[in-house]
Each structure stands twice: as C-alpha cells, then as structure tokens.
C-alpha cells in the first residue's frame, strides 16, 4: 500500500509519518505530482495560515492534482489546516479561496473574554456519525489534542462526523464519501489518535 503525505512546507509531517509507521506502513513524504497520482491514499497535514498554505500549494501546482485525486475517489485525509483547506473559504484568508471539495467556510472562535484563542490542549471528540469508518472503535466522548483558532462550518451538516465544544459546539471531524477531515491532531492524540490513523490505513 502506498500512502502519500503531501509536503508543502506547512505540516507536522514527521509526526504524522511516524504514526503511520507504527501502523505498519512506510509512508512517502513528497510534493511530486507523479507520486501523489500513484498513491493509494493521501494525507494533507497542515499548521499555519490558510492564505500561506494555498500560496504554497499553488506554487507547487498541486491544487488540481489534489482535486483530481479526490474526485477519483481516492481515500483522502486532511489534518488541522489540511482539513480547513478542503472547504470553500476561510475568515482567516484575505486573498485565497480553499480547494472547494466541501461546501462551507472556516470560521474563527469568538473573542469573548473568557475564551482563550487559540484553542489548545485536550478536548472531547463526540462521535455523531455511526457510519464513519475513520471513527470506528472510538467512544462517544474520546479525548483528542487540538491547536487551532479556526474551525470548519460546513454548509451540509450531514458531513459532520464528530463535534467538540469550546465556547459552543463545533465540528471537529468531517466525512463525505472518500474524504475525511479532522480538526485535531491525531498524531498527537496518543492511543485515540493512533486508532484513527490505523482506521485510515485500513480503509478499503
């Protein structure tokens, strides 16, 4: 099995790679189109700003490649910023639109005085979709690790597979067909995160 982690200079690449290795697969870290096109599964990690990430993907001419692979029904996992990029737009972005794979936008947490932003640390992941293979074996109130100021707000609420709560409920796992996105960092979420990564590795 060939699992590709897209390296566009914005991701927690090596931690993600290590978690996949623990699952018995040696991933390929690359930004080469031919490697991405020949992958069985693709992971898009990401840490940083929405605009900067889209600029890097454009520089590498990877936007259409990613869209084509997703449209070809290849299993795809976006992590943190990598998941946010799957949506159409972000309140953080001044220039760039997202990949437009999922309808909706990325919004910022409220700046209420009692709510620290970014949202950092362990929080719940409440599974709301029973048919999402990525979350197989995950209990209803699992704890996962977050580090973000923005979160996805999909137009179609049926793609929300799990939620968390921080100043109100927000979506933290999205699933549509072959596309999965997690707002938290599974590679930093210990046993629960490793189970999620293993589920992705085992996807048919």
| Catalytic residue selected from 119, 125, 175, 187 | 187
* Domain 3-202, CATH class in plain words: alpha beta
Q: Which residue has the tokens 């700003």?
A: 49
Q: Is 80 a catalytic residue?
A: yes
| Catalytic residue selected from 80, 125, 132, 172 | 80
Q: Is 185 a catalytic residue?
A: yes
112 has pLDDT over 90:
no
Q: Which residue has the tokens 């629960």?
A: 192
pLDDT digits (tens, 9 = 90+) for 148-191: 999 999 999 999 999 999 999 999 999 999 999 999 999 999 99
pLDDT digits (tens, 9 = 90+) for 1-27: 999 999 999 977 999 999 999 999 999
- Residues 6+ away with beta carbon under 8 Å from 166: 109, 115, 119, 123, 146
Q: Could you give the CA distance from residue 135 to residue 179 in angstroms, rounded to a whole number?
A: 13
């Amino acid at each position: 099995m060939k699992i590709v982690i897209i390296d566009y200079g914005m991701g927690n690449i090596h931690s993600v790679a290590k978690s996949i290795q623990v699952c018995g697969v040696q991933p390929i870290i690359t930004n080469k189109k031919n490697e991405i096109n020949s992958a069985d599964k693709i992971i898009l990690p990401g840490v940083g700003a929405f605009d900067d990430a889209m600029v890097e993907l454009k520089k590498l001419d990877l936007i259409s490649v990613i869209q084509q692979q997703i449209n070809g029904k290849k299993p795809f996992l976006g992590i943190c910023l990598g998941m946010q990029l799957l949506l159409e737009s972000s309140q953080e972005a001044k220039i760039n639109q997202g990949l437009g794979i999922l309808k909706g936008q990325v919004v910022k947490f409220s700046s209420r005085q009692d709510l620290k932003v970014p949202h950092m640390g362990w929080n719940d992941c409440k599974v709301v979709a029973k048919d999402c293979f990525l979350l197989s074996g995950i209990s209803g109130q699992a704890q996962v690790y977050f580090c973000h100021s923005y979160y996805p707000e999909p137009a179609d609420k049926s793609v929300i597979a799990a939620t968390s709560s921080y100043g109100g409920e927000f979506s933290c796992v999205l699933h549509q067909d072959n596309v999965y996105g997690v707002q938290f960092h599974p590679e930093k979420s210990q046993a629960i995160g490793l189970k999620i990564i293993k589920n992705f590795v085992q996807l048919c």
